[in-house]
Structure 1
């Protein structure tokens, strides 16, 4: 049996030279695929590992780049890059569509069976792909309860699952309520899981550099959120047709 294979893929988006992490499952035939978006600091070994885990399950997966190969270790630098992105759905959609084109062009990808998951800013990207009418089979996000208006959200064509920590100061209760209300008003098939005691970016292990207050790892909920994302994919983008 062939092992999982990985390679870097170069493409352009948002005026930057991006480098994504593509993972291929064993075998030779077309497989369902998953687009995977990183947290605000950028593509890291965490997302690369998640993409490889998806390939082990039988998916083609692409962990995409947000910042032209950069990883922001200083919160101020990350916010200076991400806040303008989050305020501009068009730029988020452009980043997502460029990565999706790479994933769809991979010969192992079944273009009719693609789901998208993301964390933080990467989660906002995949939500905006849905709002842009991209025919994804599933959207899953963690720490990314980004609203976009009922009319735009009504363009989402697939089930949406979102996870958030109860103590997340970035995605506070008012934002959770606004996100849920928008999905409901848009007629979306949606679920929202609140993980008790978890903070922002709770799936991420300690990274060894300074973070902002309200960011903390929660090992138990990190495992549960990954399980919930996999459950979404198993339901909506099963490895077996």
Structure 2
């Protein structure tokens, strides 16, 4: 399927430009809008990998956008820099959620996007972002995380409506199995419809083909796992197909 790509620029109240990357099928139009999927990247920002995810989703028939939550299109391959930027936005999680809501609304308003039919996927830090968007009651029908940070801005309540898929690496040294258990309890309390898949032998970052290179360059415990990456992607696509259509 041929696709088109564009920058989606959202401007915050205090004038920060959020430069997100969007793709959708060439034939999507206001007469024939398609379901939309928001993509929250790892802490590196909107680098090549989330852009490739967005393009892959567009080729599968969805509109998709890689969200620039840092602003000004900032990106890095340096873990110390990424960590600093992540800590900065996590220090004001209300602002972070305001940015996500702004991007969601701008994306939903784009020509060819069915703004009433949205899902979201997140990677690592981005996993926390999309789960918190659902916890805030943003209109997401389905949310999937890959090696995501599962900690909550505030625990889910009756605003939480999304169906959830969590893909977690059994050897993830950054998100513990205790954190996974806490998340399950949080979801059970609100009667959420969720699935947690644990991939034995998979490390943090298992879905990203650049994980080994990033691990070596930054001395962090990441690793690509082809089998876990493929299986978790297929299950995510099933979730989206079931809840958003295709």
TM-score by length of structure 1 reads 0.91
Structure 1 segments of 4 or more deviating over 6 A?
A: none
The answer to whether the 8 Å contact 1:92/1:128 transfers is no
Q: Give the root-mean-square deviation of aligned CA atoms.
A: 2.0
Q: Which runs of 5+ in 1 are unaligned?
A: none
The answer to whether the 8 Å contact 1:126/1:139 transfers is yes
User: How far apart are 1:178 and its partner, in Å?
Assistant: 0.7
The answer to whether the 8 Å contact 1:130/1:153 transfers is no
User: How far apart are 1:113 and its partner, in Å?
Assistant: 0.6
Deviations 1:97-134 (A, max 9, x none): 12101211102111111111111122211111111111
The answer to whether the 8 Å contact 1:199/1:215 transfers is yes
Partner of 2:225: 218
Partner of 2:19: 19
Q: Of residues 54, 76, 80 in structure 1, which corresponds to 2:80?
A: 76
The answer to whether the 8 Å contact 2:70/2:89 transfers is no
Hey, what's the Cα distance between the residues in 1 that align with 2:37 and 2:173? 29
Correspondences of 1:95-174 after superposition (within 5 Å)? 95-148=99-152, 152-174=156-178
Partner of 2:181: 177
Hey, what's the Cα distance between the residues in 2 that align with 1:154 and 1:148? 15
The answer to whether the 8 Å contact 1:21/1:63 transfers is yes
Hey, what's the Cα distance between the residues in 2 that align with 1:82 and 1:150? 18
Partner of 1:35: 38
Hey, what's the Cα distance between the residues in 2 that align with 1:191 and 1:214? 25
Partner of 1:7: 6
User: How far apart are 1:146 and its partner, in Å?
Assistant: 2.0
Partner of 2:238: 231
User: How far apart are 1:80 and its partner, in Å?
Assistant: 1.4
Alignment coverage as a number of residue pairs: 238
The answer to whether the 8 Å contact 1:33/1:115 transfers is yes
User: How far apart are 1:4 and its partner, in Å?
Assistant: 0.8
Deviations 1:45-103 (A, max 9, x none): 11111111111111111111132211122211111121343454323312211210121
Hey, what's the Cα distance between the residues in 1 that align with 2:163 and 2:201? 26
Cα gap change, 1:17/1:83 in structure 2, threshold over 3 Å: closer, same or farther?
same
Bigger mean CA offset, 30-39 vs 148-157: 148-157
Q: In the alignment, does 2:69 pair up with 1:62?
A: no
The answer to whether the 8 Å contact 2:93/2:153 transfers is no
Cα gap change, 1:153/1:162 in structure 2, threshold over 3 Å: closer, same or farther?
farther
Q: In the alignment, does 2:95 pair up with 1:91?
A: yes
Q: Which runs of 5+ in 2 are unaligned?
A: none
Hey, what's the Cα distance between the residues in 1 that align with 2:209 and 2:97? 28
Hey, what's the Cα distance between the residues in 1 that align with 2:65 and 2:49? 13
